[in-house]
Structure 1
Amino acid sequence: MALAALAALFLLFSGAGAAAQGPPPQIDLTDREKAFIEAHPVVTFSDSIWEPLAVVENGTYQGVFHDFFRIVSAMTGLAFKFEPQGDSRNFGKVLAALRDRRIDMIDGTGKTADREKYALFAGPFLRFPLAIVSRDDVMSGSFFELQGKRVAVASGSTAYEYVRDNHPDLDLLVVEDPTAALMAVASGQAQAMIENLAVVTYGIRKSGLTNLKVSGLTDYALDIYSLVRDDMPELASILNKALAAIPVWDKAAIMAKWLPLYAPGQATARGGAAAPDREIAGPAGGEAGKAAKVVLNRREREYLSRKGALRYCVDPDWPPVERVDEAGRYEGMVADVLGLLTERLDVDVRLAPTASWS
């Protein structure tokens, strides 16, 4: 079914989706919040295609956000009705619909100064680094290296607003959506693009753009919030409570479903995971799969010999970048990199568990 035909369709989150593990947690609601739910049992929302976070495909709305809000629906009794804006590719149209109060909320996006003028925020409930993508033959791993190069960004996106406001000297090519930005880089119209790490890694893999790579991560962490009409403070407070109450195991299951690089156990197989005080193993695959060793000088070897095991701390709940699972295993993209480093340096590293990033 064509995306343009979706205008007459809607999806209730209380339908199909990723199964939660056990009953949803209970949340305490005020009398005003309960009255809001009784008066507004169906909440309208929209989003643009932002895969894998927001997926519009074959007439249905799915993705990471869908599965999060399916749990919110079970906790609150609210139903969430998807109302596409145009062909669901231009996020600027989604923002305009919220600003004009034609929808009640946007399920997930970033917080910016401009959006604070007309929206309330619930969350954050996810966080991703902002990544730089370039072709294999281009070095563009930092904002400094983007100077003098054309950089593609999706119209209306948080990435666009961040770069526009904080790096006004960059030469921006504003395109319709993240997929168009990836294609612009692959075809040579732009030398790089900037977008949420989860979105670009998913997009590169899905599109088969083998000449593209994630060439760097910016120092900007994109926190994901729900945006709510500024005349619905009760809805914002309900979502704040519900999103904060989603169990970590449900979050992990959702991320594993939509981001294969985050699948439980994958980091272990590739050499990235370790339980507390357990050595990180090297990649599987025998001699052919082993990484080349780094040659150290005598002083470096003596230092490592004296030092013994290197202890490290991580953010225990920052998927897909890194997390510690319920069994104490360290997983994620950084875990995979650490696994390669330990094999190449031939060192013993041990996780020192912490309850939180702070």
Structure 2
Amino acid sequence: MKHAFRWQYTIFFIGIILLYLFNIFLFSNAGHAEVDQPAYPEALSLTQAEKDWLARHRKIRVAGPRNFPPFYFYEDAPEPKGVTADIMRAVAGTLGVEVEVIPDIPWPQVLEMAKNREVDWIPCAAVSEPRKAFWSFTDPFMSFPMLIIATPDTGFIGGIHDLNGKKLSGVKNIAWRDWLAKAGVSYEWIPAATPLDSLRMVSEGKADATIENLATSVYNIDRYGLSNLKVAAPTAYDAYSLHFAVRNDWPELQSILNKALAAMPKEQKNEIKGKWLSLRYEHGIRLQDILIWGAGIGASLFLIIGLILVWNRRLGREIALREATERDLHTSLSILHETLEQAPMAIEILKKVDGRTQLLIENQESQKIKDALCRGGGEDEFALEDCFELEFRDIASSTPISYSMLPAQRAFAGETVENERIMAIGRDRRQVPLEVSASPVYGKNGEIEAVFSAFSDISLRLQLEEDQMQSQKMEAIGTLAGGIAHDFNNILSIMIGNAELAAVDAPTWSPTYAKLNEIKSAGLRARNLVRRLLSFSRNTPLSKQPVLLSSIVNESVGLLQATLAANIKIRCTGLENEGIILADATQLHQVLINLCTNAAHAMEEEGGMLDIYVKSVELNDDDAARNLNLEAGSYIRLEVADTGIGMSKETADRIFDPYFTTKGLGKGTGLGLSVVHGIVRSCSGAIEVDTAPNQGTRISILFPASDQALPEPEPAPGLPEGGTERVLVVDDEPQIIEMNTLMLEKFGYQVTSFTDSREAIKRFLESPDDFDVIITDMAMPTLSGDLLAQKARAVRPDIPIIICTGFSEKVQKLRELDLGGVTYLRKPISMNELAAEVKRSLQKAA
């Protein structure tokens, strides 16, 4: 048994030696298979005219594709590399001409320069009908067969008809798609940016196969380690041929290059090919090759049979173990792949190869974001370098970010970057905000092997953050407005009440009587304005009614005339317009007052003309689309124009932002035009601004016209009835106490008043039957109105109580308490309102 085992080893090593000798013989013959080809000619056989042409053109401009390995490409070097680049230099040396290389420019730019005759010679080009319009081509100097490339898992593919139903990958406008269409082959198309990308998709299982020329396939498979790819089958189509392309107005250069290529020794061509390609390919099959390969296959079979006999039992166990390991590995890789593809963020793994950043792995989200940024203009092809050449800026400061300071490049330097926000600007100038994290991946030797990068489009998140900030601003406005509402309503109560008291004593024919009524009207409008401001800041829906816009303009102009500077004139046009819109009248007053006040500020130094227009217009579909996507129909246009200083585009773009103002400290809050914008939008209208520096400003508003009729005017309320009942009045404002006392005494009531709520309740508790009704303020420092009411009702449940407050939300909360027999009035309160409510409460109590 021991001797038999030694004999098996002897057979094994003899087979190894025979196979080694056979391979030496095989490849030595292959390397000299073309020795019989013509030798390098002793002369180029140039004509005298061609020699003279060369003498006149000692320098020739050359350009080629920037990234077409292994034929013509750059790798961070000033000179091109590759098969055609070396042949170009050899031909140029033979002809004694100087080559001026235009380095590292995109292929579309090379084509454009060739059309403009800024390039004389392109060393690497394929013939096409459009290119013949501006190029002449030499005879082909190199050809490679077209092959079907697949993986062992794809299954049997013997020719193009076996591609039916497969997933095929390739670059845009690839010729073999036309071949398959003519052959009636049906397949699923998966586009790729470069031939390398299509090979990677097949290697990663995203595509079943691709069709590529031999040289490109061999170079990329060898260079990038795509070891699971194989040549599945050849194709019957024409080989991929390379030509020199020259300007079509230089026919002499075309002839000279053809002669130089023909004179180049075959050995020299093979040496150049061997430098860049890891295997050789020769057209045709010779009998000698058949015999050599047949002998090689026989020797290989002999060796394989010997190995099987020697190691069969041991290999069986190892194969079983390896298959189990591979299944586990395949399962793990499948889970990892699905995890990456389904991740909500973009994920990439990058590697440095010869100083250039290379993409190893990316998921669908990464492809989606890069497609949006790098394609630009709908192009189907882009390289990874195109994404690195984009413009990046810091989101907060808009400062440009250099290539070396991008998160991935900093990770290559050993830095870990977490959640850094940058703005990526695409080739079509589209801006995409990204949140990027990147970290180095260290190998066993402690060196950085790769970089893991994760990023996501945060456009929606930034919008939500901005909306939240805007909501917080509006909440702050509401808090501020609510805080001042009570004090402001007290002031309005004093103004309105005293105006009413003075009007009672003034003759109706007196000018003073008219002025006092104007004061009262302005006070009531201010009351409504406070209520609308609170509703706006708290986003409370307002009731809209049919309003005659020209009437609102007329009323507002009357108020404005007395407040504008003498050097500002108001000119109104269209006040006879009968157009009706659905809106809140007080809000429309706000719109006009704010617009006209801003216009007056723009003209305060030199004065000018303030024009106000009201006009009915009809918008067709095109006009409506141009006016901020309104619907076609009837509209009422309100325009406010001034001859002031105007605004820049940057300023005009922000005038409706809350808190934005160009006025000095104390001259504006930045809320006026924000309120205007909100009111116009709530009315389903649109607002436009036309302005330029030193050209004035025109603000145009379109309100949808309404066919509803104006409400009938309410009849003037009659004078409320008075009485002789006893009234207890409580308020911490002495002026309001005095005013309410005078009002009620005008109607005959007996009034007892207190500014201290504790003293008031003490007086009431001493003798509850001395009073018929209580009127109390809500917000008082010592004892609030609701607590005073509860104490009073505890002693005398039947007494009517009226609580006055400047807070609308307080009224709602008090109603929820259901104190019984208590009514509520919102400040400011007119004399007639107060008297009417007192009478109503007394009648209910009776």
Does residue 153 of the first structure (1) align with residue 153 of the second (2)? Answer: no
- Distance change (3 Å), C-alpha of 1:125 and 1:77: same
Does residue 103 of the first structure (1) align with residue 119 of the second (2)? Answer: yes
Amino acid at match of 1:26: A
- Deviation, 1:215, is 1.4
Does residue 52 of the first structure (1) align with residue 65 of the second (2)? Answer: no
- Distance change (3 Å), C-alpha of 1:286 and 1:63: same
Distance 1:153 1:179 in 2: 9
- Deviation, 1:26, is 2.4
- Give 1:124's aligned residue: 140
Please tell me whether the aligned partners of residues 63 and 110 of structure 2 are also in contact (alpha carbons under 8 angstroms). Answer: no
Structural mapping, 1:204-353, within 5 Å: 204-220=221-237, 221-262=239-280, 281-282=295-296, 287-288=302-303
- Give 1:331's aligned residue: none
Match of 1:36 among 53, 78, 102: 53
- Give 1:64's aligned residue: 83
Does residue 133 of the first structure (1) align with residue 149 of the second (2)? Answer: yes
Cα deviation code 1:165-195 (max 9, x no counterpart) = 4334665444332212212222333322222
Distance 1:210 1:191 in 2: 15
Distance 2:71 2:306 in 1: 33
Distance 2:44 2:206 in 1: 50
Structure 1 alignment gaps of length 5 or more: 1-21, 264-271, 293-358
- Deviation, 1:68, is 1.5
SS in 2 for 1:68: helix
- Give 2:95's aligned residue: 76
More helix as a share of residues? 2
Distance 1:291 1:257 in 2: 36
Cα deviation code 1:282-333 (max 9, x no counterpart) = 26789535799xxxxxxxxxxxxxxxxxxxxxxxxxxxxxxxxxxxxxxxxx
Amino acid at match of 2:220: G
- RMSD across aligned positions (CA): 3.5
Cα deviation code 1:59-97 (max 9, x no counterpart) = 0322211222222112211233332454x5xx4554444
Distance 1:232 1:291 in 2: 65
Cα deviation code 1:30-56 (max 9, x no counterpart) = 344334323332222212423222242
Please tell me whether the aligned partners of residues 132 and 193 of structure 1 are also in contact (alpha carbons under 8 angstroms). Answer: yes
SS in 2 for 1:46: coil
Distance 1:185 1:260 in 2: 21
Please tell me whether the aligned partners of residues 48 and 94 of structure 1 are also in contact (alpha carbons under 8 angstroms). Answer: no
Please tell me whether the aligned partners of residues 24 and 71 of structure 1 are also in contact (alpha carbons under 8 angstroms). Answer: no
Please tell me whether the aligned partners of residues 152 and 184 of structure 1 are also in contact (alpha carbons under 8 angstroms). Answer: yes
- Distance change (3 Å), C-alpha of 1:177 and 1:82: farther
Please tell me whether the aligned partners of residues 65 and 73 of structure 2 are also in contact (alpha carbons under 8 angstroms). Answer: no
- Deviation, 1:261, is 1.7
SS in 1 for 2:45: coil
- Give 2:180's aligned residue: 167
- Distance change (3 Å), C-alpha of 1:138 and 1:48: farther
Please tell me whether the aligned partners of residues 246 and 253 of structure 2 are also in contact (alpha carbons under 8 angstroms). Answer: yes
- Deviation, 1:126, is 0.9
TM-score, structure 1 normalization: 0.61
- Distance change (3 Å), C-alpha of 1:96 and 1:153: farther
Please tell me whether the aligned partners of residues 92 and 155 of structure 1 are also in contact (alpha carbons under 8 angstroms). Answer: no
Distance 1:231 1:290 in 2: 65
Amino acid at match of 1:236: Q
Distance 1:165 1:100 in 2: 30
Distance 1:289 1:81 in 2: 56
Please tell me whether the aligned partners of residues 49 and 56 of structure 1 are also in contact (alpha carbons under 8 angstroms). Answer: yes
Amino acid at match of 1:118: F
Please tell me whether the aligned partners of residues 192 and 198 of structure 2 are also in contact (alpha carbons under 8 angstroms). Answer: yes
- Give 1:3's aligned residue: none
- Give 1:179's aligned residue: 196
SS in 2 for 1:262: coil
Distance 1:239 1:74 in 2: 12
TM-score, structure 2 normalization: 0.28
Amino acid at match of 1:207: Y
Distance 1:191 1:275 in 2: 32
Question: Rg larger in 1 or in 2?
Answer: 2
Greater RCO, CA 8 A, separation 6+:
1
Please tell me whether the aligned partners of residues 133 and 214 of structure 1 are also in contact (alpha carbons under 8 angstroms). Answer: yes
SS in 1 for 2:273: helix
- Deviation, 1:274, is 5.3
Amino acid at match of 1:61: P
- Deviation, 1:120, is 1.0
Please tell me whether the aligned partners of residues 45 and 82 of structure 1 are also in contact (alpha carbons under 8 angstroms). Answer: yes
SS in 2 for 1:228: strand
- Deviation, 1:240, is 0.9
SS in 2 for 1:127: strand
Structure 2 alignment gaps of length 5 or more: 1-38, 308-846
- Give 2:674's aligned residue: none
Distance 1:222 1:106 in 2: 17
- Give 1:199's aligned residue: 216
SS in 2 for 1:107: strand
Please tell me whether the aligned partners of residues 134 and 248 of structure 2 are also in contact (alpha carbons under 8 angstroms). Answer: yes
Large movers: runs of 4+ above 6 Å? 275-280, 283-286
- Deviation, 1:254, is 1.7
Distance 2:289 2:74 in 1: 38
Distance 1:38 1:143 in 2: 51
- Distance change (3 Å), C-alpha of 1:273 and 1:65: farther
Distance 2:53 2:190 in 1: 43
- Distance change (3 Å), C-alpha of 1:229 and 1:173: farther
Please tell me whether the aligned partners of residues 136 and 213 of structure 1 are also in contact (alpha carbons under 8 angstroms). Answer: yes
Distance 2:228 2:290 in 1: 38
Please tell me whether the aligned partners of residues 282 and 290 of structure 1 are also in contact (alpha carbons under 8 angstroms). Answer: no
SS in 2 for 1:137: helix
Task: Give the share of equivalent positions with the same residue, in percent.
Answer: 32
SS in 1 for 2:249: coil
Please tell me whether the aligned partners of residues 123 and 244 of structure 1 are also in contact (alpha carbons under 8 angstroms). Answer: no
SS in 2 for 1:103: coil
Please tell me whether the aligned partners of residues 64 and 72 of structure 2 are also in contact (alpha carbons under 8 angstroms). Answer: no
| Farther off after superposition, 186-195 or 236-245 | 186-195
| Farther off after superposition, 65-74 or 169-178 | 169-178
Distance 1:129 1:36 in 2: 36
Cα deviation code 1:333-356 (max 9, x no counterpart) = xxxxxxxxxxxxxxxxxxxxxxxx
Please tell me whether the aligned partners of residues 59 and 97 of structure 2 are also in contact (alpha carbons under 8 angstroms). Answer: yes
SS in 2 for 1:71: helix
Distance 2:293 2:162 in 1: 37
